[in-house]
Amino acid sequence: MTRSFKEPHSPASMDTIAGWIKSILKISSPGSTAKDMRVLAAFFAQNAGAGLETVLALGNWSSNSVYHRFYQRGIKLMLERNQVSSLILSEARVGHDSLDEVINDSLQ
């Protein structure tokens, strides 16, 4: 569970966590876009062992070919453009057995 920094330190909402992630992405790559968030989420899900069908459903992609044509390419371009994201993602891959562990560890 992630707690907010402000009193009374209640559990952080989904919107708060999303804001933190967007802020980190903006700081690490000032030219990042909402598409980069979607690409990053797909990358984390796949690296954590989510199946392609799950990634397609959660990302609301219209087809497998659209996902591969645009978002798989987007992952490579984003990582080439931003070494900080590459370091974060490589750290997240090390020693994680599940998507929950990746998410929980990245929020601590």
* pLDDT, tens digit, 9 for 90 and up, residues 4-63: 566 666 787 878 877 887 777 777 777 777 677 777 777 778 878 888 888 888 878 788
CA 43/CA 86 separation, integer angstroms? 11
pLDDT of residue 26: 76
Q: What is the pLDDT of residue 55?
A: 84
Cβ–Cβ < 8 Å for 25, 32:
yes
> Tell me, what's the pLDDT at 62?
83
Give the mean pLDDT of 60-77: 76
Residue 30: CB atoms within 10 Å: 8
Q: What is the pLDDT of residue 105?
A: 55
Give pLDDT, residue 86: 56
What's the pLDDT at 75?
66
Alpha-carbon torsion angle 75, 64, 37, 41, nearest 10 = -90
Evaluate the CA torsion angle 61, 65, 69, 75 in order and state its sign: positive
Does residue 79 surpass a pLDDT of 70? no
CA angle 94, 44, 76 (to 5 degrees): 100
